[in-house]
Amino acid sequence: MYFVTLGGQSGYVSFTTTPCGRAAIGLTDTGKVRVLAPGSSARDWRILREWPTTAYSHTDLLVKLGGTEEPASAEDLLATLPAETLG
């Protein structure tokens, strides 16, 4: 799977979506990694899980997911996350 980088997301240093926009991974300007699901509008995203980048970086997550197929939903993506993201 590849990721599409979106600009202009307030509060994020990096914000990427899956190819079909079913999930997003964001790195906040406060050092948190977030997995997000689409909201009610094209620019609306809801946070499903958040953890400190020191526990598991967004880069490590993107590399891990690079060898997988795009999940059907952001919730399905949660099942593939490593234990470090649960804290």
Rounded Cα gap, residues 50 and 2, in angstroms: 21
- The predicted pLDDT at position 7 comes to 80
Residue 87 has pLDDT above 80, yes or no: no
CA dihedral sign, ordered 5, 56, 75, 80:
positive
pTM for the whole structure = 0.89
DSSP state letters, 15-32: EEE-TTSS-EEEEETTSE
User: Hey, where are the domains in the chain?
Assistant: 4-81
- pLDDT, the chain, mean: 89
Question: In sequence order, what are the beta bridge partners of 47?
Answer: 36
Q: Is 58 helix (H, G, I), strand (E, B) or coil?
A: helix
